[in-house]
Amino acid sequence: MLNPSAGQADSCLFGLIDHGAWITKAGIERKVMRVILGNPLIAITMLRHDVTAGLFAPSSCCSSMRAMAAA
């Protein structure tokens, strides 16, 4: 996963988690995707100083869409 030529502006997609696949079991009908991305070189630098930085690097965000009701 590490690219020795990756610069400070280079980001990688670490993973996608489809929360919409399991929240339907709780009766929630939404498309929800968690995106985990970041720069592995920056993450390693942070982790060398403090391993708890792993809670924040790589970054993640969540995108959701509500189902539209039929007219």
* Predicted local distance difference test score (pLDDT) of residue 6: 52
- Summarised one tens digit per residue, pLDDT across range 6-65 is 555 678 888 888 988 888 888 888 888 888 888 888 888 888 999 998 887 778 888 777
Q: Which residues pair with 31 in a beta bridge?
A: 65
CA distance to 15, 36, 43, per residue, from 62 (Å): 12, 9, 20
pTM: predicted TM-score of the whole model, two decimal places: 0.59
pLDDT at 1: 46
Sign of the Cα pseudo-torsion (2, 15, 57, 61, in order): positive
Q: Would you kindly state where each structural domain of the chain is located, as residue ranges?
A: 13-65
